[in-house]
Amino acid sequence: MTAPRAATRPPRPERGQELDLRVDALAFGGRGVARHEGFVLFVQGAIPGDRVRAVVTKRKRGYGEARLTEVLAPSPERIAPVADHPGAPWQVLPYERQLAVKQEQVADALARIGHLDGFVLDDIVPAVEQWRYRNKLEYSFGTGDEGGLVCGFHAPGSWERIEPLVDCMLATQRGNAAREQVLAWARDQGLAAQDPRTRAGLLRNLVVREGRRTGELQVRLVVSSSHPPELDVDSLERAVECDSLLLTRTAAVSESTSVGEHELVGGAEKLHEELGGLRFAISPTAFFQTNTEMAERLYAVAGEHAALQGWERLFDLFCGIGTVGLSIGARAGELWGVEVVEEAVADAIENARENERTNARFFAGDVRLAMRELVERAGRPDVLVVDPPRAGMSQKIVRRIIEASPRRIVYISCNPTTLAPNAAQLAEAGYALRRVSPVDMFPQTPHIECVASFDRSG
């Protein structure tokens, strides 16, 4: 009797090998999916229907990655890009197609990863503006091909090359002008970007933030504290037209704009923005949704899911500066928010006071550790809203939520692939996924935001 043959894997192409590929689909995260003799390759910048030439950059046991070098035959869906912008990779897809793909990817993640069905999937809410919608941009400084100082974004797939910008189409004209003013000042001062290899050089990042409703503009220059020459901050203040100017000195190795020592150079320390009739004060490193108009839509959808009637105890986990809880909590009997970042909690308390929300209380604490104490202090929640980071919630946090036994859970997610396993854990504990509402916060990109609601069975 002959033993059955072991299943053979498709041959893996070599790293550096150049291939002609036909792209069949879009993976979560925006890369095109192609196959070479059955072996799956993810190609950044390719869309379904493209025939492309690409170089294999990484290969693993079950899949590989490839860098697009040439579009040999464009997809019938491919359109001309509006901007030379690495932060807008999906601009070659018609906007209606972008929305359809995002809707499909939410459904796919919940079915394939979470093994969930029987819920209502709403049509995706389209963005109000397809361009110039961001209220915050983080730029990086670098050295251009001719040796001069440039300010822009990392080139796709590169941690050291910075692509300069003339007009960032995701920012307003005023935000673009502020970036150009800082760059001109830095060149005039003879300042250099920090070299990512040697760590020599001063300039690291530039953060430009706007209050779309208030008209306020905040500029924050991030520099290395390892090479601290005296900066002429007076001339910087004269060079840049803004309402708030800050300097951050950091010794961090990673490219983070939030760590370091912050110095107010001129104007107000905090930026203000208005959202759904509320006014929010935002500390320099505090999180705030980067699309003001769509944040209003997102929180309105979350409010629909919460369906508060005026008597409920509402918990707001990962509450940040209070935007979610204060936006939907006007109809709650009481609001309790928890956030690990103390500066954000201080903002939340200030924002509750500014908006005369006397039913709101905010506390600093790690959600993983603070839930039991919060329940002991406040009582069990009737409705719980959670807006976690992209990585989703740890299993321990989900268990703490289940222990708290809210009647309804409203989950705001910026990553359906991490929402799905959290949703499966809640479903296993007796919470039925009732409704999911995708919202397009970031046109021209593969990022997806959605709101999901769960009701406790029985």
For residue 444, give the CATH number of its domain.
3.40.50.150
Under 8 Å between Cβ of 68 and 43? yes
How many Å apart are CA 116 and CA 108, to the nearest integer?
A: 10
Decide if pLDDT at 287 tops 70: yes
Q: Residue type at 393?
A: M
- Let me know whether 315 and 256 are in one domain: no
- Let me know whether 297 and 425 are in one domain: yes
Digit-coded pLDDT (tens) for 21-63:
999 999 988 899 999 999 999 998 899 999 999 999 998 888 9
- Let me know whether 209 and 356 are in one domain: no
- Let me know whether 304 and 392 are in one domain: yes
Decide if pLDDT at 217 tops 80: yes
How many Å apart are CA 284 and CA 207, to the nearest integer?
A: 9
- Let me know whether 362 and 318 are in one domain: yes
Given 274, 303, 338, the domain boundary residue is 274
Give the residue with greater pLDDT, 62 vs 209: 209
Digit-coded pLDDT (tens) for 141-171:
999 888 899 999 988 777 778 989 889 999 9
Digit-coded pLDDT (tens) for 371-415:
999 999 999 999 999 999 999 999 999 999 999 999 999 999 999
- Beta strands at 63-73 and 39-44: parallel, antiparallel or unpaired: parallel
How many Å apart are CA 250 and CA 322, to the nearest integer?
A: 27
Q: ∠183-282-312 over CA atoms, to 5°?
A: 150
- Let me know whether 297 and 384 are in one domain: yes
Give the residue with greater pLDDT, 227 vs 154: 154
Q: What percent of the chain is modeled with pLDDT above 90? A: 82
Decide if pLDDT at 458 tops 70: no
The total number of structural domains that make up the chain: 3
Residues with Cβ < 8 Å from 424, sequence gap 6 or more?
113, 114, 115, 116
For 311, other C-beta atoms within 10 Å of its C-beta total 10
- Residue 243 maps to a domain: yes
Decide if pLDDT at 7 tops 60: no
Q: Which domain holds residue 157?
A: 136-274
- Residue 450 maps to a domain: yes
Beta-sheet strand order (sheet of 360-364): 120-121, 431-439, 449-456, 408-413, 383-386, 313-317, 334-339, 360-364
Quick one: pLDDT at residue 4? 54
Poorest-confidence range of 70-79, 80-89, 228-237? 228-237
Quick one: pLDDT at residue 246? 96
Q: How many residues does the chain have?
A: 458
The pLDDT confidence band at residue 229, using thresholds 50, 70 and 90, is low
Decide if pLDDT at 5 tops 60: no
How many Å apart are CA 433 and CA 353, to the nearest integer?
A: 35
Distances (CA, A) of 413 to 88, 185, 275, 380, 387: 21, 40, 19, 23, 6
Q: Residue type at 163?
A: E
Q: For the chain, give the mean pLDDT.
A: 93
Per-residue tokens: 362: 């905010």
Q: ∠212-214-218 over CA atoms, to 5°?
A: 75
The predicted model gives 65-85 an average pLDDT of: 93
Decide if pLDDT at 213 tops 70: yes
Quick one: pLDDT at residue 84? 84
For the chain, report the end-to-end CA distance as a whole number of angstroms. Answer: 56
- Let me know whether 215 and 231 are in one domain: yes
Q: Using only C-alpha atoms, what is the Rg of the chain?
A: 24
- Residue 9 maps to a domain: no
Distances (CA, A) of 40 to 32, 44, 64, 73, 418: 10, 13, 6, 20, 23
Q: What percent of the chain is modeled with pLDDT above 70? A: 97
Decide if pLDDT at 175 tops 70: yes
Q: Which residues are catalytic?
A: 414
- Residue 250 maps to a domain: yes
The predicted model gives 319-344 an average pLDDT of: 95
- Let me know whether 330 and 447 are in one domain: yes
Quick one: pLDDT at residue 9? 67
- Residue 10 maps to a domain: no
Q: Which residues of 425-443 are buried (b: 16+ CB within 10 A; e: fewer)?
A: bbbebebebebbbbbbbbb
Under 8 Å between Cβ of 383 and 407? yes
Digit-coded pLDDT (tens) for 108-136:
999 999 999 999 999 999 999 999 999 99
Residues with Cβ < 8 Å from 408, sequence gap 6 or more?
305, 306, 307, 382, 383, 384, 453, 454, 455, 456
Decide if pLDDT at 222 tops 90: yes
